[in-house]
Amino acid sequence: MGSAAMPPFELSKWYADCVTEQGDAVILYSAELAWSGPAIHYTSLLLHRHGHPIRSRFSLRKQAPPEVRTDGSIAWTSRVWNASGEWRRPDAAVREALYHSPAGVLEWECLAPRAAARLSIGGDEPFEGWGYAERLRLSVPPWRLPIQQLRWGRFLNSTDALVWIDWRGPYQRQVVYHNGAAVSARSIGDREIVLAQGAGVLSLDASTVLREDALGATALAVLPNLAHLFPATLLAVREQKWLSRGVLRRPGQPDSNGTAIHEVVEWP
């Protein structure tokens, strides 16, 4: 007798953020997983205000994910937290199939490489500034992706939007967009992104650690029966995420100062 077929894996995951001029930041995650049992709904907010400890909120209640309006803007509402967000006048979306195999695919939709963002949470002062939003769709479990290290980030200001994805391991893939155009990078690190052909260098100060630990102790800790739901290799994946001041320097152009949220994720 052959083993039973593995149930289909379908994960839709939103990431959206906003950084204010003062350097405060909020990150929204919204995900739905359909696999091996009832669908799992997951929503979280990571909140950073200067001079205060970083806070996180989690919910497993079913909540509507962000929605893309007909004009391309993005809206999100949470009755659970009396919260709402909006990403207005976004730059043109970019899309890539980051991975494709018989086992499944990973599709990346950068729906707002840069947008005027505003998030209100309860009665607290709202976050207003430049923001970013993307959606991932996976039909292959992430622990089966043939990669060992991922670097991701986005750098924004009023004139520049730079986003990068760098996969290392058995499968290697690099995706970099600057102001909607695909470009190449000579190197991608935690403190420096060097664009190819002398096009420019983005320097990052990595001054604020937003999150640092294994996924099983941070982003996934709120899920019940973790050890039964996901393999130990996924729970041991280590993530470090920063909020940085950055400067993009290009030949013959003035320095471009902005803020970045970026991370490195490493598989055991």
Q: How many CB atoms lie within 10 A of CB 86?
A: 19
| Nearest of 141, 84, 133, 79 to residue 108 by alpha carbon | 133
For 231-268, what is each residue's pLDDT tens digit? 666 667 888 999 999 999 999 999 999 999 999 999 88
> pTM of this prediction?
0.91
SS3 for 215?
Answer: helix
Beta strands in 60-191 (DSSP E): 67-68, 74-78, 83-88, 94-101, 104-121, 127-138, 149-156, 161-168, 173-178, 181-183, 185-188
- How sure is the predictor about 3, in pLDDT bands with cuts at 50, 70 and 90? very low
Phi-psi region of 21 (alpha: psi -120 to 50; beta: other; left: phi over 0): alpha
Q: What ranges do the domains of the chain cover? A: 10-266
Q: Average pLDDT for residues 91-119, to the nearest whole number? A: 95
For 22-52, what is each residue's pLDDT tens digit? 999 999 999 998 877 778 899 999 999 988 9
CB-based contact 219:213 (threshold 8 Å):
no
* Structure tokens belonging to residue 161: 């939007």
Report the C-alpha gap between 185 and 179 in whole angstroms. Answer: 15
